[in-house]
Amino acid sequence: MKAFKNFHPVSLAVYFLSVLTVLMFTKNPVLQAEALVGAALFLGALQGVGTLLSDAPFYLALFAMTALTNPLFSHNGVTPLFFMNGNPVTLEALLYGVSLAATVIGALILCRCFCDVMTSDKILYLAMAASPKFSLVLSMALRFIPMLVKRFHRVERAQRTMGLYSGKSVSDRVKFHVRVFLSMIPWTLENAMETSASMRARGYGKYIKRAEKIKNGKNVKNVKCEKKKRTNFSLFKFTPRDAALIFVCLLSFGISLLGEAFFSVGFEYYPRLGALRLTAWSAAVYAVFGAVTFMPFLIEVKEALVWKYCVSKI
């Protein structure tokens, strides 16, 4: 079950933007660790622990490559560990590479969670609020791409059945795919023209004329026409829990910005390592941001437990 996916698209977009923004611009290792672990747990809840474990070698290799590459090119810092070709490899550069790797891996995992949660209809809903025309073009493109691929495979199988370009050489395969692709162009243009004609026949982009009778004594023949824009249908409903999610995300984002601005949670790697300050303000920042990052995972766990409990009562 994907309970977090049922939130409104606006609240989901605010959540991912707030967490990604803090992760990308902070240097505090505590905030980075919270975002990384929370995103990993969320991805495991969405796609299963097996998927997360199967992708772990890639993330570990990318983490090691990013962490070890930085000290080879950046020699800043006052704590040299050893010298390579006369250049110092410093502790500060190594730890900064680890911080950069945590940021990159956390952002990649969050983007995977975003792609799993934010489906195409939700993205179109958000784009429609900003630009209806762009949303229309995007929706048509998202619709035509799978249709084009399906049509391409259908024509390819038909021509292979007829024995056309059955050779195995590179030139034969190139000719075969070029011929199939050229047959797709007229079909795509014809389909676009039919869609355009259908939309024009249904009055897309025009105003709705609303007629109202004006009573003037016994005379009701006068009619007043008012132009009104067409409305858009949507299945998404904004609920109080969506408002609560947006409020919590904005609160966490604001507290994190204030913490970075007043150096309560600020952290520096160059020229020497800074110190993690444990104050009341920094503890509040860690607690609020940690609650936001772990919230999707906790929601998924809670819904899974409720589902298992309901199944056990059947």
* Interaxial angle between packed helices 91-117 and 49-73, expressed in degrees from 0 to 180 and rounded to the nearest 10: 150
pLDDT for residue 215 is more than 80: no
Average pLDDT over residues 115-128: 83
pLDDT of residue 228: 58
Cross-strand bridge partners of residue 212: 224
pLDDT digits (tens, 9 = 90+) for 156-171: 888 778 776 666 677 7
Cross-strand bridge partners of residue 90: 80
pLDDT for residue 214 is more than 50: no
pLDDT of residue 167: 64
User: How far from the centroid of its chain's Cα atoms is residue 142's Cα?
Assistant: 16
Q: What pTM was computed for the model?
A: 0.75
pLDDT for residue 213 is more than 70: no
Pairing of strands 80-84, 208-213: unpaired
- CB burial of residue 27 (10 Å; 0-12, 13-18, 19+): middle
Supply the DSSP symbol for 4.
G
In degrees and rounded to multiples of 5, residue 266 shows phi and psi of: -70, 150
Q: 221: pLDDT confidence band, cut at 50, 70 and 90?
A: very low
Question: Do the beta carbons of residue 89 and residue 70 sit within 8 Å?
Answer: no
Average pLDDT over residues 172-178: 79
Cα 278 from Cα 286, distance rounded (Å): 10
Question: Do the beta carbons of residue 21 and residue 293 sit within 8 Å?
Answer: no
Question: Do the beta carbons of residue 295 and residue 11 sit within 8 Å?
Answer: no
Question: Do the beta carbons of residue 256 and residue 284 sit within 8 Å?
Answer: no
| Domain ranges within the chain, ordered by starting residue | 4-123+239-312
Question: Do the beta carbons of residue 126 and residue 8 sit within 8 Å?
Answer: no
